[in-house]
Amino acid sequence: MTKFLSSFILILALTQQVWAAPQHGLSLYGPQDLKYKPGQNYVYANPNASKGGNLVLSDFGAFTKLNPASLKGVTAPGIGQLVFQTPMDSSADDDEAFSQYGNLVEKVELAKDRLSMTYTIYKQARFSDGHPLTADDFVFSFNLIKDPEYHPIYKEYFKDIKSIEKIDAHTVRYHFAVYNQELPLITGQMLIFPKHVYGVKGKSFGANFDEIAIASGPYTVEKYEYGKYITFKRNPNWWGKDIGINRGRYNFDHVTYKIYLDPVAQREAFKGGEFDMQLINSSRDWALDYKGDFVKKGYYIRGEFPHTRVAGMQGFAMNMRNEFFQSRKVRAAIAMAFDFEWSNQNLFYGQYTRNECYFDNNPEMKAAGIAQGDVKTLLVKLREKYKNHVPKTALTKPVGAPGQGQSAVKNIRTANALLDSAGWEIGADGIRTKGKQRLQFELLLAGPGFQRIAEPYKNNLKKIGVHLDIKVVQVAEYEERLRSFKFGMIVANYPQSRSPGNEQRYMWGSEAAEMPGTRNYMGIKNPALDELIDGIIKAKTRKEMIIYIHALDRILTHQFYMVPHWYISYDRAVYWNKFSRPKINPSQSNIVNNMLEWWWSDEQKAEKLKDARAQGKSLQ
């Protein structure tokens, strides 16, 4: 009997899930990579930063709702960051590729097979209305994702989370459908909604919560007016203010976003002191503007903040839901017509570097030279399986923009030859046709800023028999047309992190091509890329992940899905001289976000600025 009982206990033990020790955080490849200890503040925070004052920022384009996760409409700036919280907080430390620390949860316990994870929720967690935050809210928030009015980007992002289980009032366990090294950390990025507010029976998630925002974050919505502004008020009773990761954080009493619909008006408003910081994305503005008397007197400061972020890819994205863009030759020709060197010299004042691939500006992530070793072996196997989807040049040539290193004249000649060979003939009006199709499409823009860049490109396209229409629309219309993929070409930006994962699915995955609201703007359906994305997600070591990334990058680059633009390895910003900031700038986050989270209002500087402006004196 004793022998039988011992055997039974052994079998039972073997069938139970094996758990790692509870931790205060998670890192992609194990707790040994966590930089911070329990209760420790981030090195880029100043725990002694003073609280108070107001921060005024700007946002371009009108918002239409306060709901951060519903499908339709444009969410107000700041809502997701200031009002709502996620279970875990992602570190922006340059020393951590992907680490998270408890935000709403005190402890996290990950099964050793990484197929389930348990959160212990802070017992003191509260929503801004004073209602306790419990396991019921976590369960509700997970189930809410299934609502048809929940944004499909999140559905795709969290789709491998199979279920959630309530253990007790402050403990939940997530179960995962597949092994995915990144999935436990992805789970930590889910927005937590209060069930007692958003779960009221008879209410529609997509229609009834556009005008309220109640959650557990450091701020509440104080007032707003659609198309004009939104003001957040710091909650003095915020439950999370004393947690280590929040020390020195969220220091302003009020944060206001002012809305602008015209970039010129936005620029002049900053100079007039209507808001406090402007991130400069225009090389022309940086080279020629913000150099007047106020800069010389030190009223506002021009700052360059170096960063080590992966550049990702920005470019003109071609929508392959239009039949003629399905031809790789056509895409290559259209890409070759863009003369980056001329644009950089004549429009950008030599400030930019050409995007050569989708993981640029990082020596570890960027594929260098011709494919070798494990990357080459992987590409060969994929080409054997999916020959039409893996270009031969992915194996025989390095990554790079089409026509890079060649003269503009030669690129135009090559582009014309490609279109000739693809059967596109030049008509009497100079536009190429093939059967009943004309090689004509529209570049859709959300503002006029890119027009000066697009016009020279339009002229070059005319040289190869392609007609480009440039259309500028309001932000709301632009967002809706992007959501439904009703465009020919857009300016798309695909930022990347040092730890790519699930988000690659809704950028390049075949399923995302037919899912409204995803970022697969090009309509890519490539089984080789799908296989590589799965490899990235399931990789058990960083070395393995990098192999998959390099192969993915080479296929994306050599399929010419985009006309590569440029990148810059520092943030450019102007800000009024009335703030102080920590000594360390976490460069994995942009400078405006860092100002919002980590800077503080300096009363002495503000008084000096006020007096100097009143007297017309210099601060220098």
> Which of 408, 321, 309, 323 has its CA nearest to residue 359?
309
Is residue 471 pLDDT above 90, yes or no?
yes
> 89 or 292: whose pLDDT is higher?
89
pLDDT digits (tens, 9 = 90+) for 394-433: 999 999 999 999 999 999 999 999 999 999 999 999 999 9
pLDDT digits (tens, 9 = 90+) for 7-65: 433 333 334 456 568 899 999 888 988 999 999 999 999 999 999 999 999 999 899 99
Reported pTM: 0.77
User: CA 175, CA 183: separation in Å to the nearest integer?
Assistant: 10
- Answer CATH for 219-308+569-602 from 3.90.1150.10, 3.30.1180.10, 2.60.120.200, 3.40.190.10: 3.40.190.10
**Which DSSP letter does residue 187 get?**
H
Give the count of beta carbons closer than 10 Å to the beta carbon of residue 200: 10
Q: Is 405 left (phi over 0), alpha (psi -120 to 50) or beta?
A: left
User: CA 480, CA 217: separation in Å to the nearest integer?
Assistant: 29
Compute the half-sphere exposure of residue 176: CA atoms within 13 Å on the CB side of its CA. 22
pLDDT digits (tens, 9 = 90+) for 245-291: 999 999 999 999 999 999 899 999 999 999 999 999 888 899 999 99
Whole-number pLDDT of residue 7:
43
Which ranges in the chain are annotated with CATH 3.10.105.10?
A: 313-567
pLDDT digits (tens, 9 = 90+) for 27-37: 988 898 899 99
What is the domain class of 17-41+59-198 according to CATH? alpha beta
Which ranges in the chain are annotated with CATH 3.40.190.10?
A: 17-41+59-198, 219-308+569-602
Q: How far apart are the first and last CA of the chain?
A: 89
The residue to which tokens 């600025």 are assigned: 609
- 3-class SS at 544? helix
For 171, list phi and psi in degrees, rounded to 5.
-140, 130
Q: Does domain 313-567 have CATH number 3.10.105.10?
A: yes
Whole-number pLDDT of residue 569:
87
The whole-number average pLDDT for the span 562-573 is 95
The whole-number average pLDDT for the span 281-303 is 92
The whole-number average pLDDT for the span 564-591 is 95
Give the count of beta carbons closer than 10 Å to the beta carbon of residue 90: 20
